[in-house]
Chains A and B, each alone.
Chain A
């Protein structure tokens, strides 16, 4: 009865539950197959290069603009309180704790998630995945595990680099209307940071990467309806992974608060 309801029903709640169930099952399959030989090292490295290195320019530009804009826009408010000297600390805390990881994850969800969804979706509709199964290659291991692993590993690295680019942009922003040496800026930033600011923000980026990878792969791997399905897969991969990024962020903040890391 449930099968009939889930497959035949048009009700959003059943479609949602069906989607959640299938993603959970897909994730379980990732853990079941991902850590068992044979490992696709070459494909993993290729995906790391594509997802990590080739996303860096986009992430870098975004991070630079983000740091600069945040600094320039925060300055008037801090000036009202005579607290311009707190600008580096404020920007550092904002970027490292929240804005850096979330914005980078959203950029990756847009670029990488859609790319993975479209790539796997087109492989599905052109029956390349079926062909791989026939040829004896495990398509899940080759296509899904490598991409999810690459996303999970590369997103934290991208976030760290993006954070530093943002902080440098903030330094530039501070020096637009003021004269602050790099050393003083560096001291202000690091005096305000503690491990509780850096570590939870860093750890949650692994979950962001994993969510982007798993959703992108799931949407592409299970796409149908021909070429139209490829577009739907790419689009829904971005939407769902972006939403998941925010949900994971919310959960991470709550856990960090419970653990006394905020």
Chain B
């Protein structure tokens, strides 16, 4: 009787242990979708950031599957095979986006699925979903480290500035000085006035530019009218040619002046010798007087009977030439 009782106790103990073991294995298996109907869906990433076989696949934060396989296709492509419960197929669509996240800050990696557009059909076995770019934790940490270093430098500078301000009495005196405050106020008012003027100036400049753009004024025509621009261009071209000619003439004149200075000719002597110049002026005055006297003589000669016939003949030839 006692032996039977012992056997019953032993049997209960063994059954309990075995049942617990089987239950554990079943629950773990069902968590990993080993006993559910599932489909395989694929997603391609450039970098999986430590994703492992068995990691969870979540949709809207709910686990709907697991990662079955992670395999490298080439140097920049990793294909992840996910097994998704068949009953979750009616939520995941063909255009769903797969993103690698983590369960908390230090938790396991997982794949988050999201559907941006509910108009596309539901996912089917063998489909390949789109993937989001994975931000690696290391990269994030590196950026954060650089930011920290910058913040450190900035805070160090700020500390120095603050200390200088605290140590300097000039700053506090300036703050306490009412005259300085009034000056600052006046300066600010002046700045405000200057700012208003600058604004007006800017507006005028804007109008001017607008007018130029619309082709008003010479500058506008030059910039917008092709004909005027062409004329202006021709004018500039002519001006250049005239300038070249003037330059050449000046060059020749320069050479002439040099010759005049160097060569002992009559013009040179005339230009440099003042006595000669005065003599020549007197000679020219005498010549003018002589010319006047000669004119008078000639007029008198025209009235003389000796040459009267000759001048009449000349007048007749002139009239003859005029008549056609």
Contact = CB atoms under 8 A, between A and B. Distances in A.
Q: Are A and B genuine complex partners?
A: yes
B127 to A, nearest CB: 27
Interface residues of B, number: 25
A85 B31 CA distance: 19
Contacts of B54: 194
B106 interface: yes
B27 A52 contact: no
Interface string A71-103: 000000000010101100000000000000000
Nearest to A82: B105
A191 B13 contact: no
B24 interface: yes
B104 A83 contact: yes
A190 interface: yes
Given A81-B106, A164-B20, A195 B10 contact: no
B21 interface: yes
Given A161-B20, A194-B32, A49 B27 contact: no
Nearest to A164: B20
A49 B9 contact: yes
Interface in B1-38: 3, 6-7, 9-10, 13-14, 16-18, 20-21, 24-25, 27-29, 31-32
A39 to B, nearest CB: 16
A246 to B, nearest CB: 24
B10 A53 contact: yes
B6 A198 contact: no
A156 B7 contact: no
Interface string A147-179: 000000000111011011000000000000000
B10 A52 contact: yes
A160 B28 CA distance: 15
- The A interface, classified by DSSP as helix, strand, loop or mixed, is helix
A53 B13 contact: yes
Contact of A161 (B7, B16, B107): B16
A72 B3 CA distance: 42
Contacts of B27: 190
A140 interface: no
A2 to B, nearest CB: 46
Contact of A49 (B6, B31, B63, B106): B6
B13 A160 contact: no
A195 B29 contact: yes
A48 B10 contact: yes
Interface string B111-149: 000000000000000000000000000000000000000
A83 B106 contact: yes
Contact of B31 (A53, A158, A191): A191
Contact of B14 (A52, A85, A163, A164): A52
Contacts of B29: 195
Contacts of B10: 45, 48-49, 52-53
A250 interface: no
A157 B28 contact: no
A198 B25 contact: yes
A41 B9 CA distance: 16
B12 to A, nearest CB: 8
B159 to A, nearest CB: 30
B203 to A, nearest CB: 59
29 contacts: A45-B7, A46-B6, A48-B14, A49-B6, A52-B10, A53-B9, A53-B13, A56-B13, A83-B104, A85-B104, A86-B104, A86-B107, A156-B21, A157-B14, A157-B18, A158-B17, A160-B20, A160-B21, A161-B13, A161-B17, A190-B27, A190-B28, A190-B31, A191-B31, A193-B28, A194-B28, A195-B25, A195-B32, A202-B21
Interface of A: 45-46, 48-49, 52-53, 56, 81, 83, 85-86, 156-158, 160-161, 163-164, 190-191, 193-195, 198, 202
Lowest 6 A-B CB distances belong to which pairs? Answer: A157-B17, A49-B10, A160-B17, A49-B6, A53-B13, A160-B21
Given A46-B3, A52-B14, 11 more contacts: A49-B10, A52-B13, A53-B10, A83-B104, A85-B104, A86-B104, A156-B17, A160-B21, A164-B20, A191-B31, A195-B29
